[in-house]
Structures are given as C-alpha cells and as structure tokens.
Amino acid sequence: TTPERTWFESTGGGRLALAGKPVPAGSAVEAGIRPEHFIVGEATDAMALKVDVVEPTGSETHVYGTIGADTVRAVFRDRVPVRPGDLLPVSVA
C-alpha cells in the first residue's frame, strides 16, 4: 500500500493497482480477472505473462500461460505477436 494506491501482489510476483477500499498490508485477498480485461503493455503495474499456448480464433487471440505460480488465460481483440516461451507484459484494464 502506498499513499496514492493500494496494490495486490500475487504469490507469483504479479502486482496490480486496486481500485476501491484500501486493504491493510499483509491481508489475504483473492483477485478474479476476466480474460478479456488483460491488456498488453509496459505499465507501472505490468506483470510478466509467460506464454504457454497461443490460439488465434478469428478476430481474437487467446493466450494461455502463467504469471508467477498462477495459471491465466488472456483474450485480446487483436493479433498479439507472441510465441510459447515468450514473456508478455500485461496489465488489467
């Protein structure tokens, strides 16, 4: 927690800025993120998504992988030029 923001830090090393109520440091919280809310980019709260599978499906790209120890699926509305093994910087919209 900083004076300006409250952060969620995963056990796997991911870090997200939280909106809403401040949470005391060290508190356990659970984050549910919709796959389509991930965005690609180098932001202050970007996390490294280690890509396992890339699945282009028409107008979307589904990317399966891990952020630290957490398994995630991200859905992007456009083509994302990544391959298995790449680290993709993502944050949440």
49-93 confidence digits (pLDDT tens): 999 999 999 899 999 999 888 899 999 998 999 999 999 999 887
Q: Is the pTM of this model over 0.95?
A: no
Query: What class, spelled out in words, does domain 6-92 have in CATH?
Result: mainly beta
Token pair 């690609």 is at which residue?
40
30-48 confidence digits (pLDDT tens): 778 899 999 998 777 788 9
Bridge partners (DSSP) listed for residue 39? 91
Every domain of the chain and the residues it spans: 6-92
